[in-house]
Structure 1
Amino acid sequence: MNSYHLRRKRKLNIVLIGYRCSGKTSVGSGLAARVDRPFFDTDELVQRIAGKSVEGLVTEGGWELFRRMETLAIREAVAFDGGIIATGGGSVLDPDNVRRMKANGWVIWLKADPEVVKSRMAKDEESGKVRPSLTDRGSLEEIRSVVELRSRIYEAAADFSIDTRMKTVDEVADEIEAAMPELIRKKSSWQETP
């Protein structure tokens, strides 16, 4: 059997991108359970690889060290076929990460307004989840600034996008599940082109 036929039999990954607190982990884990696929969270993989929390890693070596570990985590996650992968918000800043994500998967951008992100982050903080600051600005100002900078990158990387602003986790998962057959068909055709 030649490689053309082997590629056709691969199950594509579903890779979720977007700013922190856009719903990637919640949607991804729920969707994976629904469609019986493995779930990978690259932040969790980073913590396993580094043996430290994201906050501890950033405190120790800065965002540069975290991004290097994140690249290793992405390589590990995309090596599987048919996974649902929730990525870190900055994973798309490295073009090689995006290339890897798209090589055996389709990339979905989960969009959220800065105000929604801030509200979700506040809920995370109440539950004890700490997210290291990306800049030296205040939280809403930082979110607006970083979302504005990254939006073009997310858009360029994405095969499909969903606005999560007024939707529940289940509603977003419903949209992805409904789109899967068509997106997989399109992506499979793209991969099969000699």
Structure 2
Amino acid sequence: MGPIFLIGYRCTGKTSTGKYLADLLNKTFLDTDLVLESTYGTTIAQMVGRHGWAYFRAKETQTLMNLDLKNSPVIATGGGIILAEENRQFLKENGIVVYLYATASVLTDRISKDENNTDRRPDLTRDSLSLETEKMLEIRTPLYQELAGVSIDTEKYTPKAAALEIKAQLDPGSRTEIS
């Protein structure tokens, strides 16, 4: 099994689920947002504030392309990584893509409660959080769905249960009960 890329909007559980999945599969876990921030010594919000969205998206692509895919890691990607055709092609060609999703109302609630959201993640629009989430999902959902080899509704699964379900779908003989 090659690398596993977790895609989805903010607060769908990519990082939490990814850590559990990496442990289950005995693989390394990477988060493209954290790799990018570490590489450039700044938060995404600071980068966007100083240089703009186009600059950030270019650095996001560069970060994705430079990931070490040896040993087939589990990789949580930034929510907008799928916006660039180059990134979508890379994800399709280099691993298994797992789409984590939830409704706009649930995501809005999760984002508003996420301590990392305001400090590290910039607003995507000047709209209210709920309207921004709805607009972004309208644009991004078809792209997420197009890439997905596996899709998991994170309203129905905790991160640990989602990781077990992903493992079961990727390797049907491995289905395990949640403890």
Q: How does the TM-score come out when normalised to structure 2?
A: 0.90
TM-superposed CA distance for 1:77, in Å, is 2.3
Structure ID, larger Rg = 1
Indicate whether 1:30 and 2:23 are aligned. no
User: Equivalent of 1:92, from 82, 98, 107?
Assistant: 82
Structural mapping, 1:74-113, within 5 Å: 74-77=64-67, 79-113=69-103
Distance 2:136 2:117 in 1: 24
Q: How does the TM-score come out when normalised to structure 1?
A: 0.83
Matched letter for residue 69 of structure 2: A
Query: Structure 2 vs 1, CA of residues 101 and 164 (structure 1 numbering), >3 Å: closer, same or farther?
Result: same
- Structure 1, residues 50-78: CA drift from partner, whole Å, max 9, x if none? 11111110101111111111111111226
Which deviates more from structure 2 when the two are superposed, residues 74-83 or residues 98-107?
74-83
* Fraction of identical pairs, as percent: 37
Q: Is this contact kept in 2: 1:13–1:78, CA < 8 A?
A: no
Q: Which residue of 1 aligns with 2:143?
A: 153
User: Equivalent of 2:43, from 42, 53, 59?
Assistant: 53
**Secondary structure of residue in 2 paired with 1:52:** coil
**Secondary structure of residue in 2 paired with 1:107:** strand
**Secondary structure of residue in 2 paired with 1:136:** coil
Please give the root-mean-square deviation of Cα atoms over the aligned residues, in Å.
1.7
Q: Is this contact kept in 2: 1:20–1:117, CA < 8 A?
A: yes
Distance 1:90 1:123 in 2: 20
Structural mapping, 1:171-186, within 5 Å: 171-181=161-171
- Structure 1, residues 145-182: CA drift from partner, whole Å, max 9, x if none? 10011111111111121111132111111110101225
Residue correspondences, number = 172
Query: Structure 2 vs 1, CA of residues 38 and 154 (structure 1 numbering), >3 Å: closer, same or farther?
Result: same
- Structure 1, residues 104-132: CA drift from partner, whole Å, max 9, x if none? 21101101111111111122138975421
Query: Structure 2 vs 1, CA of residues 139 and 53 (structure 1 numbering), >3 Å: closer, same or farther?
Result: same
Query: Structure 2 vs 1, CA of residues 96 and 128 (structure 1 numbering), >3 Å: closer, same or farther?
Result: closer
